[in-house]
């Protein structure tokens, strides 16, 4: 078994989602599409979320299945599309994700984090 606990993966997801939302705070779509630095910061945050989601799915399968309200596979899929098709990233999809999916994910992760702690870290 690895040394990283379920709560650590959830914390990584939570922090990356907060970061991504913070990076675009005060920007509109046009500003985002003109700001390469912000684009890359948000994309990196999405990769972190997807990587952590993959680790939860692989190392804590029962927890992921119990909490199937989270789009585990979608998070992993977005990470894979970004990582393997970096030059073809759909920035409109990235913008939509940070505007709609991440705020919802943040709410869900707070509850999951508490549940992971109650279940002795999901191990």
- Of 60, 67, 76, 79, the catalytic one is 79
> What is 54-84 written as a DSSP string?
HHHHHH-HHHHHHTTTS-HHHHHHHHHHHHH
Put residue 26 in one of left, alpha, beta given phi > 0 → left and psi -120 to 50 → alpha. Answer: left
Q: At what angle do helices 6-23 and 102-118 cross, to 10 degrees?
A: 160
Is 60 one of the annotated active-site residues of the chain? Answer: no
Is 5 one of the annotated active-site residues of the chain? Answer: no
- Of 84, 110, 113, 118, the catalytic one is 84
Catalytic residues: 79, 84
């Amino acid at each position: 078994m690895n040394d990283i606990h379920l709560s650590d993966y959830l914390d990584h997801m939570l922090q990356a989602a907060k970061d991504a939302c913070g990076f675009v705070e005060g920007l509109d779509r046009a500003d985002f599409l003109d700001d390469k630095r912000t684009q890359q910061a948000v994309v990196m945050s999405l990769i972190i979320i997807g990587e952590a989601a993959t680790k939860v799915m692989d190392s804590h399968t029962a927890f992921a299945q119990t909490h199937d309200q989270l789009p585990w596979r979608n998070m992993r899929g977005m990470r894979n599309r970004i990582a393997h098709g970096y030059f073809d990233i759909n920035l409109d999809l990235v913008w939509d994700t940070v505007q709609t999916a991440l705020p919802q994910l943040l709410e869900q992760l707070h509850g999951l984090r508490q549940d992971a702690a109650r279940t002795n870290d999901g191990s």
